[in-house]
A and B are shown apart, each in its own frame.
Chain A
Amino acid sequence: MDKATFEQLYRQMLPGLYRLALSILRHGADAQDAVQQAAVKAYLAAERIRPGGERAYFTRIVVNECRNIQRSRMRQTPVAEVPERPAVGPNDDLRLAVEALPEELRLILLMKYMEGYSEKEIAAALEISVPTVKNRLFKARKALRRELREEVELA
């Protein structure tokens, strides 16, 4: 894959990768750093990309970069420090419920229901088994229902 093709592909996936980085790091500048650094590392190891597996591959590297940033900056941003938007929209309770989820459950839930990853893609991206993905989705859905205090259909 040449550089132009790689960059075009990465840019197309950029919104989803950025959202996932933001869900982990909860800080725009850090999420930008993670996605940018991941682009360089992904390109340098691009021979590992399997056709059709680009999104899982990019996601794995972005998630790893997020972990590196968390470790190196020793920054854990608890919910209390996230600037609260005024409660004017219909989904502020959803935002709080999602942010209250443990990170591993939140990430898998958002990969599937926000970005439309298949369970196989999630497994490949996070280097875990498909049954583990199913386990965590089960827990994540239940946890979200508990946080929202109502039955939820995830479309």
Chain B
Amino acid sequence: MRRVTRQDFRDLYEPVPKELADDIHAALAPLPERRQGKMKRKFTGLLIAAVLLALSAAGIAAAKLNLFSDMTDSANPIVPLEGAENLIETNLGSVENEWATVTVEQAAYDGQGVNVLARITPKRPEEYALFNSWMMDRGDMYDVSWEPDEVETGTQESNIIEGGVKIVNENGAQAYYEAGKEVAIPEGREAAMAAGCMIYREDGKLYYTYQDVIRVKGRKDGKRIVGFDMGLRSTSNDPAQDASFDGIGGDAEEQSDGSVLVWFDGIAERPLSDEIELELTVWIWPNGEEDPSGEVLETIAFKLKKSEAERVARYVPEDGGMIGDHVKVREVNVSFTKVRAYLTVDYDYEEQPDEVMGVWLHPYDGEGNPIHTGSGGCYGPDEGEQLGFYRQQDEMQSFDAIPDVIVLEAKVIDGDPLGRVACRLAEGE
């Protein structure tokens, strides 16, 4: 398998011209200074109060449904159905060390998707706070800065300029070559920018001239930071789980007691076994996220049972499934659970030169209201299982009563709608 790094992508593009920063300075110079003032928080405060009131009124059910908050906290939320909270398993495992206690607090598996909520609690919250890069958007809590990006140890080669570039930075040797010729490494960034050199040396270390990295310097309250990371993966040997969760995503949020809640959600491309095995891995870096010494590793293995029998419905498109003259819906299948629905649309599509990214099919109910969708993907005729037709799969809002009709609108991605077709529940379903 080929590994493509961030630097590989960066090497595809020329560095920032050194005069651009000066041009920006010149452009900003004649503009007036901005007035200093407090940010307007009044309406934000009211909104937060309203949300808290709603949550407290819902009580225990709301607390358990915190598991799904990533799904519901969206402009197009997918809201679990009433009764979904009964499907949530709790307290699935815990591990602790001198730095933290980690607990898998809630999880739900509906046969194709998994939601997990973990909590990591510092052992001595008065001494340090836990931090993960998912929390970096809290500019009110963290001092974030951009710092020079140090050149990795080893030898790097790139064709960023004609003739290529080579950087040697290992075993005490530091050297820089352009088109095969060694070039003296400038001392300091200013000198490197003046010379147009992509690296510079400072205090004996090499740094990239034209790029910085974002780092958390510390908390605004001065508390020490202990870095952590978590990853969730399936570990079953069941061949059915070869259709594994694609990119289990996550989010993290510090709570008022110093613990951090971490959400994971993942959806497989097809239904999996009645029971799956998962493993949560936790890394803790007592000396900060960038210092691997003292790294502590913990794992929590746990199993989840499919929480309910899914309700499966097949829909047949009207009018032969045609939408416009180059999209034809073959069949629609939907699996409904209390947590979400899984929409699968098989269709034929004749590529068009002005439809560069193809089309996407959006579901509506029988009254023309959009049905919210979430994560999804699409395979072409020659991809994946090579079905010979397109297959689009979406996470979708579920329903207690299986709809009699789902309307699909074909829309050019980043373009206009092409039309709609009604798909009716197959007889006998």
Contacts and interface: CB of A to CB of B under 8 A. Distances in A.
B27 A40 contact: yes
Nearest to B74: A129
A139 B378 contact: yes
Nearest to A137: B247
Interface string A118-152: 11110000000111001101110010001010111
Contacts of A95: 12
Contact of B375 (A50, A92, A134): A134
A94 B159 CA distance: 12
Contacts of A19: 10, 13
B401 interface: no
A118 B373 CA distance: 21
Contacts of A12: 146, 212
Contacts of A43: 28, 31, 34
A153 B24 contact: no
Interface stretch (B91-99, B137-145, B314-322): B137-145
B159 A146 contact: no
Contacts, number: 176
B25 A110 contact: no
B11 A91 contact: yes
A38 to B, nearest CB: 9
Given A11-B24, A119-B249, A131-B395, A44 B4 contact: no
A127 to B, nearest CB: 10
Contact of A135 (B9, B139, B375): B375
B14 interface: yes
Contacts of B134: 118
B31 A18 contact: no
Interface in A68-105: 85-86, 88-92, 94-95, 98, 102-105
For chain A, give the interface size range.
35 or more
A43 B89 CA distance: 49
Interface string A29-47: 0001001110110011011
A131 B211 CA distance: 30
A104 B360 CA distance: 14
A47 B20 CA distance: 24
Nearest to B392: A135
A3 B31 contact: yes
Contacts of B2: 148, 150-153
Contacts of B68: none
Nearest to A38: B24
Nearest to B384: A142
Given A35-B24, A91-B158, 10 more contacts: A3-B31, A14-B16, A28-B14, A40-B28, A46-B34, A52-B138, A104-B414, A113-B6, A131-B395, A139-B378
Interface of A: 1-3, 6-7, 9-16, 18-19, 22-23, 28, 32, 35-37, 39-40, 43-44, 46-47, 50-55, 85-86, 88-92, 94-95, 98, 102-105, 110, 113-116, 118-121, 129-131, 134-135, 137-139, 142, 146, 148, 150-155
